[in-house]
Structure 1
Amino acid sequence: METSDETDGAYEHIEVFLPPGGEGPPLHYHKNFEESFEVLEGELKILYGEGEKVLKAGNTLVVPKETNHTFLNASDENDVTFGVKIEPAHQFEQSMRILYGLIEDGKTDEEGLPHNKIHAALILDMQDSRVVKLPFLLKLLLNYLAKRGRNKGIDQELIQTYAK
């Protein structure tokens, strides 16, 4: 809806659609930005911190930095459409463009996970997404792969291919 370039890096604003029963990512947090959720249509359930909240059209919720959270469609019958404002802007929009580009090019599995593990690590790194229930050694491996991908310029190749 609004890119980092359009807001001079102040924020990014994306629109998300989930079908009935649809779920977002695993429980995670971000160190570098907060997320504001605003429901445009339907009902969105957000699990955050120690609580949960169901938002309806027009409702908003801000999830501060370093707060565990995830979301899902609160309905098994209706779609939900919502906006997410990421403040300050990170590389979230670019990471989503890359992911959807990889999906379109058949470079992911049925669940949308990239076949190339460096691509997966770079996307998570760009999103500043830190999955809560991830084994320690897997976290180390993902950090290593993301660093290796940046050092080899793979992140820039992905940006040039899918996010420009």
Structure 2
Amino acid sequence: MQTLTRTITNPLIKDEVTFLKTSAETRGAYTLVEVKLAPGGGVPLHYHNSYRETFACVAGELSIQCQKDVVRLQSGQSAVAEANTLHRFFNQSPEPCRFLCRIEPGNPGFEQLLQINYGLARDGKTNAKGMPKGLLNLAYVLSLGETRLPGLLSVLGAFFKILARRAVKKGIAAQLQQQYVRF
């Protein structure tokens, strides 16, 4: 019997995510992932409207930016990005780091966002910053995890909602789900 791996990798942002607990497994209370992040890896500034993220460094050093403040977490330290707080995580040390990220409440869309976006990155279907190529793909992926981006992209929020609905109507969403979502 083949076992289903719950680890996904993204070659662009240089990380590996293992799903320890999904929203379904915690009855919606939380999603818990372990992330291994290479030096120089990380994600751009963003925020989520309906859930908070708690980052707990397990090994190495993890940098967290919330609004304009940057903290460098060592093993055993944690930081929280509340809902609607602009944040990012990144590794500015010369060594890999490992951390836990707890999303509360759990969010199945966030879990799907990671699986789809990492699959697109592995297949060369994202730009150099890891954003899906094609506006319909981008809009749908962002809508899954209720992810909002600052700057010009934030102004386009309503437009992205329309595009996400179009991705569903055109079958693009179903195709992405079928191709990349495994659990």
The alignment's TM-score, normalised by the length of structure 1, stands at 0.87
State the shift of 1:135 in Å: 4.5
Q: How far, CA to CA, are the matches of 2:70 and 2:159 in structure 1?
A: 31
Residues 1:89 and 2:106 are matched in the alignment: yes
Identity, % of aligned positions: 39
Does the aligned pair in 2 maintain the 1:38–1:58 contact within 8 Å? yes
Provide the C-alpha distance between the structure 1 equivalents of 2:30 and 2:50, rounded to a whole number of angstroms. 12
Q: Secondary structure at the match of 2:21?
A: coil
135 and 18 in structure 1: CA distance in 2 versus 1, 3 angstrom threshold: same
Paired letter, 2:22: T
Shift of 1:67: 1.0
Q: 1:62 maps to which residue?
A: 80
Note if 1:9 corresponds to 2:25: no
The answer to whether structure 1 residue 146 and structure 2 residue 164 are counterparts is yes
- Write out per-residue CA displacement over residues 68-96 of structure 1, whole angstroms, 9 at most, x where no aligned residue: 11121131x11111111111122111111
Q: Which string of whole-angstrom CA distances, capped at 9 and with x for unpartnered residues, describes residues 26-85 of structure 1?
A: x2111010001011111111111342211111111121111111121131x111111111
Structure-1 residue corresponding to 2:130: 112
In 2, the alpha carbon distance for the partners of 1:28 and 1:106 equals: 22
Q: Is the 8 A contact 2:57 2:75 kept in 1?
A: yes
Partner in structure 2 of residue 80 of structure 1: 97
Higher relative CO (CA 8 A, sep ≥ 6), structure 1 or 2?
A: 1
Residue type at the aligned position of 1:11? Y
After superposing the two structures, state which structure 1 stretch, 145-154 or 123-132, moved more. Answer: 145-154
Which sections of structure 2, spanning at least 5 residues, go unmatched?
1-19
TM-score (ref. length: structure 2): 0.79
- Large movers: runs of 4+ above 4 Å: none
What residue in structure 1 maps to residue 40 of structure 2? Answer: 21
Is the deviation greater in 39-48 or in 49-58?
49-58
Q: Which runs of 5+ in 1 are unaligned?
A: none
CA RMSD of aligned residues (A): 1.9
Are residue 158 (structure 1) and residue 149 (structure 2) matched? Answer: no
Q: Which moves more between the two structures, 112-121 or 124-133?
A: 112-121
